[in-house]
Chain A
Amino acid sequence: MGFHFCVILCIVTLMAKSSFNHVQIGGVVTCVPPLEKCIDDELELFGGNAKQIARLKKTIGLDRRRVVESGTTAADLSETAAKRLLEQAGLTPDAVDALIFVTQTPDYAQPCNAAVLHGRLDLPKSCAALDVNLGCSGYVYGLWLAHMMVSSGGCERVLLLAGDTISRIVNPKDRAVAPLFGDGGSATLVQRSECASAAWFSLETDGKGFDKLIVPAGGQRAPSSTETQVEVTDEAGNIRCQENLFMDGAEIFNFSIVEEPKAVRELVEYAGLDMDAVDYFVFHQANRYILTNIAKRLKIDLAKVPMQTVERYGNQSSASIPSAMCGELHDTLRSADSTRVLLSGFGVGLSWASVILDIAELPVCEIIEYSSCN
């Protein structure tokens, strides 16, 4: 790891809010699988109810999603993104001082994805590597950790990977979740900057809501067994087993429209800004209905809220924010003019996190398609 004691570091903290200076994002790449599914083709899942599909498309904004084939993982997608990012940024593996992998769908129970990818990316032994077990809020948590690692003087450059394959843990016969989730992997560089570049973070948790979005079995609390694999039909007619993802949609919706606007307002105030000072609000791409409801409560111009990503790729969990940045803001973030963005993720935990930062002149900001030949 590189140590640069000569750089003046500035970290200001207030409970779970913190601000940093002289740290910047140095590029973002998102990788999606080529296989596309469309809700229009899933009439059987909805019991032949075309009207319900039409309502879901119109109201929630469900449309297409990209999902992996069996055998492809979040690590594969993120590895492809990372290689592209390093290549386009003109960096060799030894320029990376730490690797963070945010995922809830790792390749193995042990070791962590970061260690596996450390080997596959040929990173140096001096490079720290760790996983973060978070979902939709995870990208911002990862950025926060990376900012701390750079600000502490321990790292010159952190490679943040965030990816999930939630499509592999939903039951395809569960209408409440199956049409929502897509897969994706991302890679982001967080590095020291000589220029003043402030970043303000807020991070929050409500563990009392842990069971509102959960895979109940398969871990140590309820190990995988024949019982946990028995499919059960709920009162709404959705089918899942204990090893599939369960979501209490109404409670997650309530959580999102209450906590997100509050968190955004508080962070903007903490940063000493007003809402107009933010050029784009990039929320976790849960679905169009949630995003529109959050934006309405914040009285934000919808033109400042990217939300096409979820309709193209599905809810990509930890990869959804970088996906929206790459898919909808690539030209803006690559331009020489600085853009002030507020990134905000919310979901499983329950956990939510937001950051305001300035981004300019990214050497790379793009979405690429996965190929097993990559």
Chain B
Amino acid sequence: MSLEKFVEDFEEAVEDVEPGSLTALTKYRELEAWDSLAVLTVIAMVDAEYDVRLKAEMLKANDTLEALYAQVCG
């Protein structure tokens, strides 16, 4: 489990994002592809890959992927 792997998993979960285009500092909520469907697919990814139940509020409360990852690991 690493931040780099989390960014890759996030890219895969949110379709319509170029692989390798996101970084730990990406503000994911500002992405064009960030919508209610992306919320679902990221929740499912975090549940399946990290065994963490991510609430929608947590996705709203964080801004960067690094911050989100810290919450997932928290």
* Chain A interface (Cβ < 8 Å from any Cβ of B): 51-52, 55-56, 58-60, 175-176, 236, 248-251, 253-254, 257-258, 289, 293, 296-297
* Min C-beta distance of B24 to chain A, whole Å: 23
Q: How many inter-chain contacts with C-beta < 8 Å in the A-B complex?
A: 47
CA distance A1 to B35 in the complex (A): 55
CA distance A296 to B37 in the complex (A): 19
| A and B contact pairs by CB, cutoff 8 A, 6 listed | A59-B37, A60-B37, A236-B35, A250-B39, A254-B43, A257-B44
Instruction: Say whether, besides A51-B16, A55-B15, A253 and B40 are in contact (CB < 8 Å).
Output: yes
Inside 8 A of B61's CB, which chain A residues have their CB?
Answer: none
| 8 A-B pairs closest in CB distance | A250-B56, A250-B39, A253-B40, A293-B44, A249-B36, A55-B15, A55-B37, A236-B36
Inside 8 A of B40's CB, which chain A residues have their CB?
Answer: 60, 249-250, 253, 289
* Min C-beta distance of A255 to chain B, whole Å: 10
Which one of B37, B48, B53 has the greatest number of beta carbons of chain A within 10 Å? Answer: B37
CA distance A318 to B16 in the complex (A): 34
- Interface SS, A side: helix
- Interface SS, B side: helix
Q: Which of A55, A248, A250, A253 contacts B16 (CB 8 A)?
A: A55
Which one of A56, A60, A250, A289 has the greatest number of beta carbons of chain B within 10 Å? Answer: A250
Is the CB–CB distance between B55 and A254 below 8 Å?
yes
Is the CB–CB distance between B44 and A248 below 8 Å?
no
Inside 8 A of A253's CB, which chain B residues have their CB?
Answer: 40, 43-44
Inside 8 A of B59's CB, which chain A residues have their CB?
Answer: 250
CA distance A316 to B53 in the complex (A): 28
Is the CB–CB distance between B44 and A56 below 8 Å?
no
- Interface 1/0s, chain B 37-53, versus A by CB < 8 A? 10111011001100001
